[in-house]
Amino acid sequence: MKRSWYATPYALWMLLFAVVPLVFVLWYAFTTPDGAFTLSNFAEFSKPRYAAVIIRSLKLAVYCTALCLLIGYPTAWFLAGRGLNRTQSLVVLILLPMWMNLLLRTYAMMTLLDDNGVINSALAALHLGQIKFIGTEGAVLMGLVYNYLPFMVLPIYTVLKKMDWSVIEAAEDLGANPLRVMSRVVLPMSVPGIVSGVTMVFMPAVTSFAISTLLSNGKLRLAGDLIDYIFNQSSNPNRWNIGSSFSLMMLVLILISIGFLRKVDPDNQGGGLW
């Protein structure tokens, strides 16, 4: 047998469940319910209510990615330390929440952030008043960060763990202080992990829907919520066409984002912008 034949099951799977659905999305996006070619489906999203959802989705996705990077990079650096014992146990603790369904994790966040939840109950017991979390962008952002933080930590940790520590020792022997070692040696070498982490966080965050629906009590819609609403709840007779056009727009946006990120480290060798 030719070695390429071993990829046949995967190729058939991708054809049936990736390529064919994408063809249908393209068809509906550029046609009317009667099958006539049109670009009017895309014009729907110049309306203020749709544009506001897109802007909010991009904003929260960028905030989520930035916070995950700020929290995840130091965590990955700590886990990759040479003198750290029980590293694998700590990595399992990071992975542990991912073993649960996303909805269960989000409901757990609701238990913490609810008006009568754990945090507000503790604040009330300390006579510090209560904070309104649920129904705000802050709650949605916290939910996004909580759910997608491991996707940032693990790629960076993997790169740092494989890093040649002799390079760091050489920099220290040449008189570089810790800050310079981090900025001129460690960060450039970890660029592939950063790029992978940013990609893996930004893509699901910008199209999230369950997290935003639950943590905002349905008050704040993101791109995923809008797509779900258009397909399943809208009374518009063109809902399949409009929903497909919006899905296609989000796909193009994600592909552009990935292309930009790949330019930072095109050869996946580190260095990037440094």
175 strand-pairing partners: none
pLDDT band at 272 (very low <50, low <70, confident <90, very high): very low
Residue 101 in tokens: 């369904």
Task: Say how far apart CA 202 and CA 250 lie, in whole Å.
Answer: 12
Mean pLDDT of the chain: 86
- pLDDT number for residue 273: 44
Dump pLDDT digits (tens) for 236-247: 888 899 999 999
Amino acid at 219: K
Residue 222 located in a structural domain:
yes
Provide the 8-state DSSP code for 214.
H
- Of 143-157, 161-175, 257-271, least confident by mean pLDDT is 257-271
Residue 250 located in a structural domain:
yes
Residue 147 located in a structural domain:
yes
Residue 26 located in a structural domain:
no
Q: For helices 191-206 and 48-79, what crossing angle results, to 10°?
A: 150
Contact at 8 Å (CB) between 185 and 177? Answer: no
Amino acid at 55: I
| Element housing 78 (H / E) | helix 48-79
pLDDT at position 271 over 70: no
Residue 270 located in a structural domain:
no
| Element housing 113 (H / E) | helix 102-113
pLDDT at position 254 over 70: yes
Provide the 8-state DSSP code for 99.
G
- pLDDT number for residue 115: 85
Task: Say how far apart CA 54 and CA 253 lie, in whole Å.
Answer: 11
Instruction: Look at the chain and report how many structural domains it folds into.
Output: 1
Task: Read off the pTM.
Answer: 0.85
Dump pLDDT digits (tens) for 144-167: 999 999 999 999 999 998 888 788
CATH number at residue 255: 1.10.3720.10
Domain range holding 107?
Answer: 44-264
Residue 38 located in a structural domain:
no
Residue 4 located in a structural domain:
no
Residue 11 located in a structural domain:
no
